[in-house]
Amino acid sequence: MREWRYLLNGSSLALDAETCIGCGSCVEVCPHDVFLVEAGKARIRDRALCMECGACSRNCPVGALGVSSGVGCAAAIIAGKRGLASSGCGCSTDSSSSCC
Amino acid sequence: MTFTRVSAKSLLVDPSPLTVPNERYVTGFVESSGRLTPRIGTRLGIADIAGAWRVRLGIGRGRYRVRPGLYAVGAPTPASAVLVTANYKLSFDELRKRLSGIDAWIVVLDTKGVNVWCAAGKGSFGTKELVERLAKLSLKEVVAHRIIVLPQLAAPGVSAVEVATASGFRVVYGPVRAADLPAFLESGMKKDAAMRTVRFGLADRAVLGPLELVHAWPLAGAALALALLSALPFSGGFGSRLSAISSVLIGSVVLGSLGFPILLPALPFRSFALKGAALGTVWGLAGSILAAARPLGGVSLVLASSAIVSYLGLNFTGSSTYTCQTGTAREVKLGIPAMITAAALSVLAGGISAFSRY
């Protein structure tokens, strides 16, 4: 299966091995198979596959994962810069872009 | 027991003033624990298929919604699985068409007509909406167990831990694709790596092209304006110059919209703007040669088509399934000024070419 890589992917992903209890929640929610659990601890298998969606950190029961998440959508970022949308992706409401 | 469609509407839980394009997906009612729940069909009709094409072309996308609430598929009992989804009708249809032969409860959240993944990113498919919806629907009176299955792509918006605390239901994240749901349910809710991973294959990408093209019309207008300028003066073959130049430029808008998504993995660079610039440059060069453009006219065409395809490529980050915000923000910061510069130089070169012999 193809593995997709993008600029700066996964640069903000941080895993605190001390805190991790190896429950595998991150493995269960990650859409790009970034994690694996080895010897009772989660490990980042391939950081460059991470799109920083935030699913893992939101579902980590012990707060061992941190990532600065947001939409990787150019139209939303441009709209945000022009003050059209306060934050995140406002594209579905103005339908100016196909994202979301 | 039979009901007319009019009474069907009034019995739906949580009526809201949404435009519901059609409710033909409600095929009857299920009686369980003293409640009537609308039963939905698992076969899509012509209206559903036409509706999918319409929204793929960007027509009425924001209004393509299903009424939030509780639905039944098959003949569910208090022991049946509960599947949660978004109220974008395209998402809802993709779910129900995979459930033939399955007895389950469907909880449709109010995600403002947005698909699961994007709604999760925005927070409308989130912990709060989920917990409130479960309480509103009194799901605890419908099922005897305390497990709800969410699409895996809802995870950026939902905290399973918080949902369990607030609602008493344990969240199980199902497969990414509804197509894998039957196997997932059959196996006792186990998923393998393939079920967990977003693919973004050729068909997934190609289907996004038409909407990109519909949204690209302002760019096509600008391309036409540039073609008019570059084809000047009005004497000596203006018409043939105009048709050659506009073919190259309008062609680059079509290429950037329909071709870019298809060619994505074959294009060099990780940056979408650079992928687009590379594709546009090749297109512009080929077009200049075929159109037998004058030297400066050719430069103008290459600059314009690389800027056009680069912009459309950058825009495709919003539809792609693997771009992060940091990288996209950097591309916008560096790419947009470069595109504007290229476009300005292209107009300059086109103008000079039009009024000189170069």
E strands, chain B, are: 26-32, 35-40, 69-73, 81-85, 104-108, 147-150, 170-173
Structure ipTM: 0.86
Report the alpha-carbon distance of residue B190 to residue B289 in Å, rounded. Answer: 57
**How far, in Å, CA of A6 to CA of B297, rounded?**
34
B98 touching chain A per CB within 8 A: no
Exposure letters A76-98 (e unless 16+ CB within 10 A, then b) = bbbbbeeeebeebbbbbeebbbb
Of the candidates B160, B314, B315, which has its C-beta nearest A59's C-beta?
B160
Note the CATH number of domain A1-85.
Answer: 3.30.70.20
Instruction: Parse chain A into domains and list their residue ranges.
Output: 1-85
pLDDT number for residue A81: 79
Comparing alpha-carbon positions, the chain B residue that sits nearest to A61 is B161
Domains of chain B (ranges; CATH) run: 5-198 (3.40.50.11600), 203-354 (no CATH)
- The angle at the Cα of B91, spanning B198 to B54, to the nearest 5 degrees, equals 110
Q: What is the pLDDT of residues B262-280, one digit of tens each?
A: 999 999 999 999 999 999 9
Residues 19-78 of A with CB under 8 A from B: 25, 27-33, 49-56, 58-59, 61, 68-78
Cα(B123)–Cα(A87) distance, rounded to whole angstroms? 12
What percent of chain B is modeled with pLDDT above 70?
A: 94
B197 touches chain A (CB under 8 A): yes
What confidence score (pLDDT) does residue A1 get? 60
Give the separation between CA A70 and CA B171, rounded to whole angstroms. 23
C-alpha distances out from residue A88 to A9, B91, B358, Å: 18, 21, 47
Mean pLDDT comparison of A69-73, A81-85, B16-20, B249-253, highest-scoring range: B249-253
